[in-house]
């Protein structure tokens, strides 16, 4: 049986993950009348998807210009800050991240909040799954914090941020992750003040983790309310 040598994996025929039609993403966008998508070229579809999109954009003077943009689509994700308010601690992970290692990080071992891709789940279901896989913590009540586009110049990912309490006194073990997925995760429990100090001295450099730790002290479980002097003179 012959095959068409011009068929493109991920576009005309399934790629390694069984996907087709990846070259059509964005062609039907019409939410912004100043943007007209003309063409989408599929550049790569390994684990994630790299596209080059040609579009017409109308600037603030009313002039139309043609632009090309490369976008990297790795799907959307979720992350959660696990905290013990009574003990003033947070539970973080430490694991090897090659992209930061190749970009000047000393050893590539990044301290992070538990996180993962949504795959086919809704954000809350996904982060409950990822938190248990990475830390062994089964989350009870969970609070949605905010949603953020993490690198909007080139990456399509939107990350959903959550926070949830954990019982630090009953935590067992200091390793996490799924061996069958190649995960080798160290669990790190830190006092919140120590965690903030590690942001200042550069030992914590992960954006999502910094955002959640700062939220925790500004508007979250470690927020301190200054006393208000209502006395008038």
Q: Give percent of the chain with pLDDT exceeding 90.
A: 81
pLDDT band at 5 (very low <50, low <70, confident <90, very high): low
Mean pLDDT of the chain: 90
DSSP states of 134-148 as a string?
A: HH-----SEEEEEEE
What is the pLDDT at residue 101? 98
Residue among 61, 56, 79, 89 at smallest CA distance from 167: 89
- Find, among 100, 141, 135, the residue nearest to 114 by Cα: 135
Q: How far apart are CA 111 and CA 210, in angstroms?
A: 10
Half-sphere exposure of 162 (CA within 13 A, CB side): 27
Q: What is the pLDDT of residue 177?
A: 60
Contacts of 125 (CB under 8 A, 6+ apart): none
Rounded to whole angstroms, the Cα distance separating 213 from 145 reads 12
pTM equals: 0.89
Which ranges in the chain are annotated with CATH 3.90.79.10? 77-218
* H/E run at residue 83: strand 77-84
Distance (Å, rounded) from C-alpha 223 to C-alpha 205? Answer: 22
Angle 207-218/192-200 helices, nearest 10 degrees?
A: 130
Could you tell me the pLDDT band of residue 233, with boundaries at 50, 70 and 90? very low
pLDDT of residue 87: 95
Mean pLDDT of the 88-92 span: 97
C-alpha–C-alpha distance, residues 147 and 145, integer Å: 7
Average pLDDT over residues 58-76: 97
* Strand 77-84 versus strand 89-96 pairing type: antiparallel
Q: Could you read off the pLDDT of 132-183 as tens digits, one per residue?
A: 999 999 999 999 999 999 999 999 999 999 999 998 765 666 766 665 565 6
pLDDT at 156: 97
């009574």: which residue's tokens?
A: 86
pLDDT at residue 171 in the model: 62
CATH of domain 77-218: 3.90.79.10
């Amino acid at each position: 049986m012959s095959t068409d040598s011009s068929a493109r994996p991920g576009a005309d025929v399934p790629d390694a993950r069984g996907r087709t039609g990846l070259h059509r993403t964005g062609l039907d966008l019409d939410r912004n009348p100043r943007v007209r998508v003309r063409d989408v070229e599929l550049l790569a579809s390994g684990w994630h998807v790299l596209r080059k999109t040609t579009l017409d954009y109308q600037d603030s003077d009313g002039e139309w210009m043609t632009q090309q943009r490369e976008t990297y689509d790795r799907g959307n994700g979720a992350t959660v800050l696990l905290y013990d308010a009574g003990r003033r601690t947070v539970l973080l992970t430490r694991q090897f991240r090659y992209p930061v290692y190749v970009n000047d990080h000393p050893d590539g071992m990044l301290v992070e909040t538990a996180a993962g891709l949504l795959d086919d789940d809704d954000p809350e279901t996904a982060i409950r799954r990822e938190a248990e896989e990475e830390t062994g913590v089964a989350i009870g009540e969970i609070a949605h914090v905010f949603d953020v586009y993490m690198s909007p110049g080139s990456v399509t990912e939107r990350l959903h941020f959550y926070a949830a309490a954990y019982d630090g006194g009953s935590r067992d073990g200091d390793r996490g992750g799924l061996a069958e997925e190649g995960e080798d995760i160290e669990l790190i429990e830190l006092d919140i003040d120590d965690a903030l100090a590690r942001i200042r001295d550069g030992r914590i450099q992960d954006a999502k983790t910094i955002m959640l730790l700062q939220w925790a002290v500004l508007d979250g479980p470690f927020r301190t309310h200054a006393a208000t002097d209502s006395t008038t003179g």
